[in-house]
Amino acid sequence: MRVPRRVPWASKAELAELYDLLFAPGANDASRQAALSRAASATRMSYAMAVVRFVNGMVDPLQTGPYARPISHLAASLGIPSSLVALRHRATHEDLPPLPMLRRAVEQALDYLHRQSFLPLLASSSAAGWDRRAKLEGLVTEWKKIVKARVRTHDVTNESESGLALRRLKRAIDAEDADDVLDAVVRTGLVPVARKKRSHRRANRPPKEGLAIWRPLLAHLDATAPVSAALTECLVGALLDTAPRLNPPPAAPDAAEDHRKEMASYRWTLGTWLLWLWAGEGGLTVPEEERTGVLRRIARELVHGDDVLRRVYAELAEDTDAPALDELDELLLHESEAESESDEEELEGLEIDDGAEKPDQAPRDVDAQLAAMEANLAALNEKTSADGSSVPGWEHVAEWKAAPIGVWV
């Protein structure tokens, strides 16, 4: 017995009609569209192809042996629902499934990708980011320890124990991204933990010990690829991110004062590193195309009264075309006054009497207002008496006295 076959027509007449709609000499786009009914078919085809490519894309990388393994087995090892595998087979080898079924299948696929792919990837990348940051901070700390020991012992050889350790450390640093290493150096290395080892408030250059430790590392990084621009960005970003307006002090007065001194010392040491880089004394210098942008970024923060940034800007603006600190203060003052005048003009006539008069002034104001009202009333009465009755049948009573309505006087 021959297996029945499904076709789009029910009779020879419908087959002939379909042929005419598609291939007759008079066929046009409208007739072909009526014959194909592309709206529903195209939507079902898109959903079906999405399911097919999803299943194939997930299981194909597992086909590594010389013989093909069943797709259902591979999908089960990945946790893909068996209904998606069955739907993929039906959409590939049989008729297209109904649209509601295809929509549910696509929702299942999206849910699988959300749970099995995106969430684990985000979790692993976050953990890897912290691990990477800890690894870079460890490399920076180890560099500081080795170089500080070599500086104290005046060891300059490469064959000593510290020299060999330094060479191994350089290879490990070279394997990392230079920008990430610079970020770790600025964040955990350039500023000593002890406040007494940081730059003095009257100094405009980093401490000598800090230069001896970190200048070789910065020169080593710059020898591989220029890092001056990235180092400038890290220093400026650290100065702006630690501004007092973004890091309010604790509520306790003693703790607040200690916090203020700590942050001022930390930020000024970062500022001296920026001044050292700006001067180009260590072979590294801020690129000329970056200098204007650095000055502008710092100048925008001066409106908040940041003392450290004011000193840094004053040092950087010397021998440049940028406005000096005094000129910038005057410019900011004029802008502030202009904004205040503009605000006053906009609010003119909208004043609100908050009733905050002085106690001795309030009675006098009330008395003056009452006297003015009585004078106006008397003038009105005199005018009414002189003019006579304004309305026929009405007369003005001369002995009228002011009293509440309904009260006989």
What's the pLDDT tens digit per position in 333-391? Answer: 665 555 555 545 544 544 444 444 444 555 556 567 667 766 766 665 565 555 444 44
The Cα–Cα gap between 43 and 59 comes to 25
Rounded Cα distance, 136 and 133, in Å? 5
User: Over 90: is that where the pLDDT of 49 sits?
Assistant: yes
Supply the mean pLDDT for the chain.
Answer: 79
Residue 52 burial (C-beta neighbours within 10 Å; 0-12, 13-18, 19+): middle
Cβ distance 196 to 254 under 8 Å? no
Each residue's pLDDT tens digit, 152-206: 888 888 888 888 988 898 998 888 888 888 888 988 888 888 888 988 888 888 9
User: Measured between alpha carbons, how far is 173 from 60 in angstroms, rounded to an integer?
Assistant: 38
Across 16-26, average pLDDT: 82
Maximum Cα–Cα distance for the chain, whole Å? Answer: 127
Q: Could you give the C-alpha distances from 300 to 194, 295, 329, 368, in angstroms and in order? A: 31, 9, 11, 52
Higher-confidence position of 394 and 25: 25
pTM of the model: 0.52
Secondary structure percentages of the chain, helix, strand, coil, to 5: 70, 0, 30
| pLDDT-based confidence at residue 400 (cuts at 50, 70, 90) | low
Q: Cα separation of 13 and 286, whole Å?
A: 84
264-314 residue pLDDT tens: 999 999 999 999 988 887 778 888 888 888 888 888 888 777 888 888 888
Domain ranges of the chain: 12-121, 223-341
